[in-house]
Amino acid sequence: MKRPVRVLFVADGPAAGGATAAAIGADPAIEVLARCASAVEAVDLIAALAPDVVLLYASAADPGGRALLERAAAEGGAPVLVADARNGPAESYSALRERVRGAGAGRRAHPARPAPSPGASPSQLARGAQGVSLIAIGASTGGVEALVRVLSRFPADTPPTVVVQHMPALFTASFAARLDSLCAPTVREAWDGAPLERGCVYVAPGGPAHLEVQWSPARRVRLTPTEPVNRHRPSVDVAFASIARAGVPHVVAALLTGMGRDGAEGLRAIRAAGGRTIAQDRDSSTVYGMPRAALEIGAVDHATPLGAIADAIFTPEISVREAI
């Protein structure tokens, strides 16, 4: 039996398109993975959930947001269908369901692994990993696909790695599972008390707690239910600051694409504590907010293209030589 066509439903408000989403999801051949209240919110869920079809219920879609959505969907190979809501139900639910089924017919294979990036060889990355004790990565808008690109190059015996990606609580487990299918290390949604082990990547769960790192007496993940920081929970700044306070030696931290400033101060704290710090560059960022903030306050010396970030983490001598 074929699995259902997996649909990400995108409206322009939390209450918009509810009847349409319900009608589409009533078809046993269609599964509505999630409803998003904006195109910007949908960008990371496209990469996290790998839908077969993106259905945009557009009554007054922001052109910039829609362009961002279509770019993200194209990168994931999912077609974008538009149900124009401005003039009422111009298309019957049965016709819309038929369009969704047709568009998703060729998209039911498991996602392929990302194509290898040029740069350091797998053996060079594996050797470089031996000199790193902990890796920390933070990201927001556009970060899901960026994380796929970066983490898919990590060696199987990678140092323990913590990831904070701004994402709704319901989807971080699915995102971790997708990363696990694409990456050599084991990728899990983090839990309180999780031991920080080599060969493992820990994704901060969305929801009521921040992720922090405990390094002594035991090396563990801690989830702390405190107030949002920079309007986010989990916050990249909280995770990075905990690493700086713990005095983790030989740590590497990277700040990827995203809106706002979350992570910039924490990255600076890690650098001040002796860690190596990396920020994604403007050209490869979906939104050049968080990395730019880090550069502006001196948390990093220069920005790094997305395709070179794994090299910068594990083989900085190769990354620097190629940049020159």
User: Residue 192: which residues within 8 A CB-CB, separation 6 or more?
Assistant: 209, 221, 222, 223
Find out whether 51 and 103 touch, Cβ atoms under 8 Å.
Answer: no
Instruction: List residues with catalytic annotation.
Output: 140, 166, 262
Return the structure tokens found at 47: 């990469």
Q: What are phi and psi of 282, to 5 degrees?
A: -60, -45
Say if residues 75 and 145 touch (Cβ distance below 8 Å): yes
171: which DSSP letter? G
10 - beta bridge partners?
36, 56
Structure tokens at 287: 């939104």
Q: Which residues contact 318 (CB under 8 A, 6 or more apart)?
A: 119, 120, 124, 311
Which residue in the block uniquely carries the two structure tokens 């960008």?
43
Q: How many CA atoms does the CB half-sphere of 84 hold within 13 Å?
A: 4
